């Protein structure tokens, strides 16, 4: 079911040509800064992988991947990637990336089950990144340091946009606010997880919510995560479980939070076994990715994804992701966008 927010009095600050130039400048500038901050080298990534190998990201576990048969492989099924969370860790091993260094790539996906709207499209583009770490790095302070480095690149990019287009005033605070999902629940016990995100993002503008995927004290999760990439059960902030989280910023145009990144320290062998058992997914241990992890063939790592179109949408103060990327939208949505001066590409 598609849903459209129509900001009252909205008018794009940039025309189409300025927007296209801004998109290019943002993508070039941000990925250069991200690469320097985290010591990442660019690699080429697949658009699709073979089904049944456990390489594709399962996201929250309910989304169906787009698939197709391959004629020259006796109609073996291929799946368009949802993200590259597991593929990246395999690549770290295959490229023998040194500790303290990593990779990043342009990830393009098709998510046919998305509920289309201002922030959600059938087409997903993000920077997927992964970095080799040591066992001593598997702690909350290291996670927060990496988040701060990414946020530093975001701050610099916002100022670059302001230099290009002075009409776009910077709004990001100098520091990102860290909070665990359990602490957030305690602050707003009567709100749903999405309503809590709205409240905390509006208050602090830039927030990193820790512990996505673990059960909170009320027995519910803040949000779902696949059990075989992020470590969401090891003790993290203030004794609460979770070495992962989401970067949220306050979208001043839509007046709601915008998730820009999901990331975390990845599972090691004991955590993988524990999380798969907790979710009743132990059958995955027979898959290619999981066998390599259990056999100690994959390095310890931290990684995540950063939405490219969303990042551009935020910096350029756009009301709809369709102002940044070309995709398919319901005719009624296109009509309403045109009526409210939201020019979809």
Average model confidence (pLDDT) across the chain: 95
Question: pLDDT digit string (tens) for 148-173?
Answer: 999 999 999 999 999 999 999 999 99
Tokens representing residue 191 in the block: 């709100």
Active site residue 126: yes
Active site residue 262: yes
In angstroms, the CA 286 to CA 147 distance is 33
pLDDT top residue among 34 and 237 = 34
Q: Is the dihedral of CA 103, 108, 111, 116 positive or negative?
A: positive
Q: At 307, phi and psi to the nearest 5?
A: -65, 120
Q: Is the dihedral of CA 49, 128, 178, 203 positive or negative?
A: negative
In this model, does residue 1 exceed pLDDT 60? Answer: no
What does the DSSP assignment read for 1-50? --B----TT---SS-HHHHHHHHHHHHHHHHHHHHHHHTEEE----SEEE
pLDDT top residue among 64 and 126 = 126
With respect to CATH, is domain 16-339 assigned 3.65.10.10?
A: no
The catalytic position among 31, 83, 121, 126 is 126
Question: pLDDT digit string (tens) for 235-285?
Answer: 998 999 999 999 999 999 999 999 999 999 999 999 999 999 999 999 999
What mean pLDDT comes out for the span 15-24? Answer: 97
State the Cα angle at 260 between 258 and 264, rounded to 5°.
Answer: 130
Domain boundaries, the chain: 16-339
What's residue 61's pLDDT?
60
The catalytic position among 25, 31, 35, 57 is 57
* Helices marked H in the chain: 16-38, 85-94, 140-164, 181-187, 193-204, 269-278, 288-294, 308-315, 331-339
58 — pLDDT class (breaks 50, 70, 90): low
The catalytic position among 259, 279, 334, 336 is 259
Question: pLDDT digit string (tens) for 274-326?
Answer: 999 999 999 999 999 999 999 999 999 999 999 999 999 999 999 999 999 99
Active site residue 310: no
pTM: 0.95
Active site residue 111: yes
Strands 40-42 vs 102-110: parallel, antiparallel or unpaired:
parallel
| Number of H-type helices and E-type strands within the chain | 9, 11
Question: pLDDT digit string (tens) for 200-243?
Answer: 999 999 999 999 999 999 999 999 998 999 999 999 989 999 99
């Amino acid at each position: 079911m598609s849903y459209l927010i129509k900001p009252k009095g909205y008018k794009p600050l940039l025309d189409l040509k300025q927007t296209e130039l801004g998109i290019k400048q943002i993508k070039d500038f941000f990925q250069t800064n991200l690469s320097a901050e985290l010591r990442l080298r660019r690699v080429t990534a697949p658009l699709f992988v073979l089904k049944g190998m456990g390489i594709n990201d399962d996201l929250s576990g309910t989304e169906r991947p787009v698939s197709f048969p391959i004629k020259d492989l006796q109609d073996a099924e291929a799946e368009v990637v949802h993200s590259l969370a597991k593929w990246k860790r395999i690549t770290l091993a295959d490229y023998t990336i040194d500790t303290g260094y990593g990779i990043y790539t342009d990830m393009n996906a098709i998510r046919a089950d998305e509920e289309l709207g201002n922030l959600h499209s059938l087409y997903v583009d993000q920077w997927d990144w992964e970095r080799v770490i040591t066992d001593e790095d598997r702690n909350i302070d290291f996670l927060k340091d990496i988040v701060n480095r990414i946020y530093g690149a975001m701050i610099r990019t916002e100022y670059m946009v302001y230099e290009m287009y002075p009409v776009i005033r910077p709004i990001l605070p100098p520091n990102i606010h860290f909070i665990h999902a359990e602490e957030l629940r305690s602050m707003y016990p009567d709100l749903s997880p999405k309503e809590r995100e709205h409240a905390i993002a509006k208050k602090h503008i830039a927030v990193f919510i820790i512990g996505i995927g673990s059960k909170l004290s009320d027995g519910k999760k803040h949000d779902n995560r696949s059990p075989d990439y992020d470590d969401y059960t090891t003790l993290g902030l203030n004794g609460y479980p979770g070495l992962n989280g989401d970067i949220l910023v306050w979208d001043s145009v839509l007046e709601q939070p915008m998730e820009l990144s999901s990331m975390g320290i990845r599972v090691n062998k004991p955590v993988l076994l524990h999380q798969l058992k907790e979710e009743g997914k132990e059958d995955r241990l027979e898959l290619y990715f999981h066998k390599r992890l259990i056999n100690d063939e994959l390095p310890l790592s931290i990684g995540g994804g950063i939405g490219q179109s969303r990042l551009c949408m935020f910096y350029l103060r756009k009301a709809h992701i369709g102002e940044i990327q070309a995709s398919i939208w319901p005719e009624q949505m296109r009509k309403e966008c045109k009526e409210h001066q939201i020019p979809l590409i």
